Amino acid sequence: MKNILDGIEDVLLMGPGPSCVPPSVYEALSRKTLGHMDTYFIQIMDEIKIQLLHIMKTENYLTLPISGTGSAGMEASFVNLIEKDDSVLILINGVFGERMRDVASRLGAKVDSVEFEWGTPVDPEKVREKVSKGAYKMVAMIHAETSTGVRNPAEEVADILRNGESIYLLDAVTSLGGIEVATDAWGVDVLYSGTQKCLSCPPGLAPASFSKKALAVILNRKTKVPNWYLDMSLLSKYWEGRSRVYHHTAPINMNYALYQALYLIMEEGLENVFRRHLENHNKLVEGLEGLGLKMLVKPGHRLPMLNSVLVPEGVREDEVRAKLRTRYKIEIGGGLGPLAGKIWRIGLMGHTARAENVQRVLTALRETLRK
C-alpha cells in the first residue's frame, strides 16, 4: 500500500511560515505521549508557562498556549474580551489587520478602524487623533504584518494608550522570538503568537497572555464567552492552581515541541536570537539589492523575519516560486490581496535565519532570474 508520507521532501522553508524546525524539536514532537492529566505532563505545562513569561517579557498569571494555530489565538483574544456592541478600534495595514476586523465583527463588536497603505506602517499620530475622539474598549494591532513585511510601532501605540481605559491587543504571531516584544513594559493587555514562525516549531499552538486588566474584563463579562473551546476562564483552571480541572485534551506532543523550541531560544539567549535575525536580514537585503531587486518596505519599517521583495517587471512571480520549490527545494511566499503577483515574501524566521540559508536563496534567485 503506497504511503504518501514517503514522498515528503526536505524543503528549506523561507516563506511566511512555517519556518524550519530544528532536529531536537522534531525529536521532542515524537516523544511518548502522556495523559493530559498526568502529573508529569502538568510539570511540563508549568515549565512552558515559565518559558513563555520569559520570552514574552511578562509576569501575567494567565499565560498559556492555546490549542490551535495562530488564528485561534486571535479568535480567543477577541471572543474572551469582546461582547456584543463593544467598541473596538483596529489599526489595519495588511491581511491580518483585515482578519481582526472580520473576527471582531462576527462577534457583534462595533468595529472602527484606521487604515494605512499596505507596505507602510501604522502612523501613531493618526492613532492618537482617532483615540482622542472616541472611547474604545479595545485597540488592536498587528505587530509584524506578515502579509507586507511591515513592523508596526507597538511601543509608540503603547505610549498613546498608556493610562487610558482601552485594552491593548497586540498580535505577535510573526514577531515573537524574532524582535523585541515587551508585553509588560509596553502595557500590552492581550498578546498572542503562533508556534510556526520565529519559535521554529511546527504549527499547532498559539501562545497567549492576558494582563490583570484583561483578566478583569473577562471575569466581569455580562455574558458567557460564546466559545466553550476557547473560554479562558475554563482553560485557566486546567493550566493553573493546585487542582487542575480537565477542560479539553491538550495537544500533548505539540506542547513537547513548543517546550523544546523555547528551550533552544533560551539557551541561545533572546538578545542573540534577535541579533541573528537582524544580521541575516541585512545580508539578505544586501544580496537582493545586489541582484537588482527592490524591497517593498522602506528602511526603518522592515521586519527582519519577513522580507517583501518587489517582483521585477516582466517576471512571472509564480513561475519563479515554482522553480525555487522544485529545482532548489526552497519555499518562498507570494503576495496576498492587493500585493498578489507583485511581491515575494522571503522569511527568515527562527531556525531559518542562518547565513547558509540566505546564501542558498540568493543563489537560487540569481540563477532563476538570469534565465
Site for its own copies in 307-326 (CB under 8 A): 325
Q: How many other C-beta atoms lie within 10 A of the C-beta of residue 233?
A: 14
Residues near its own copies (CB under 8 A), total: 79
Q: Is the separation of the CB atoms in 65 and 52 below 8 Å?
A: yes
Contacts of 66 (CB under 8 A, 6+ apart): 72, 73, 76, 192, 205, 206, 207, 208, 230, 235
Q: How many other C-beta atoms lie within 10 A of the C-beta of residue 313?
A: 5
All three cell numbers of 40: 508529569
Q: Decide if residue 335 touches its own copies (CB under 8 A).
A: no
Q: In terms of CB distance, is 35 or 134 closer to its own copies? A: 35
If you compute the radius of gyration of the chain from its CA atoms, what whole number of angstroms results?
A: 21
Task: Output phi, psi for 329, to 5 deg.
Answer: 55, 45
Give me the 79-118 binding string for its own copies, x by CB under 8 A, dash otherwise.
x-------------------x--xx-xxxx----------
User: Of 133-141, 158-166, 249-257, 304-312, which segment contacts its own copies by CB under 8 A?
Assistant: 249-257
Q: Which residues pair with 62 in a beta bridge?
A: 210
Q: In terms of CB distance, is 20 or 311 closer to its own copies? A: 20
- Binders of its own copies among residues 210 to 229 (CB under 8 A) are 224-229
User: Of 38-46, 119-127, 211-219, 298-306, which segment contacts its own copies by CB under 8 A?
Assistant: 38-46
The span from the CA of 31 to the CA of 265, in Å, is: 20
Q: Decide if residue 341 touches its own copies (CB under 8 A).
A: no
The minimum distance between CB 75 and its own copies, in angstroms, equals 4
The minimum distance between CB 2 and its own copies, in angstroms, equals 9
Q: In terms of CB distance, is 160 or 361 closer to its own copies? A: 361
Binding its own copies by CB under 8 A: which of 53, 218, 252, 310? 252
Q: Decide if residue 202 touches its own copies (CB under 8 A).
A: yes
The minimum distance between CB 275 and its own copies, in angstroms, equals 20
- Binders of its own copies among residues 258 to 297 (CB under 8 A) are 259-260, 263, 266-267
Contacts of 71 (CB under 8 A, 6+ apart): 99, 194, 206
Q: Decide if residue 13 touches its own copies (CB under 8 A).
A: yes
Q: In terms of CB distance, is 103 or 127 closer to its own copies? A: 103
Q: Decide if residue 27 touches its own copies (CB under 8 A).
A: yes
Among candidate residues 345, 367, 370, 359, the one with its CA nearest the CA of residue 174: 345
Among candidate residues 283, 281, 367, 298, the one with its CA nearest the CA of residue 330: 367
- Binders of its own copies among residues 60 to 79 (CB under 8 A) are 67-72, 74-75, 79
Amino acid at 181: V
Backbone dihedral region for residue 135 (phi beyond 0: left; psi -120 to 50: alpha; all else: beta): beta
Give me the 172-201 binding string for its own copies, x by CB under 8 A, dash otherwise.
----------------------x-x-----
Q: Is the separation of the CB atoms in 174 and 198 below 8 Å?
A: yes
Residue length of the chain: 371
The minimum distance between CB 226 and its own copies, in angstroms, equals 5
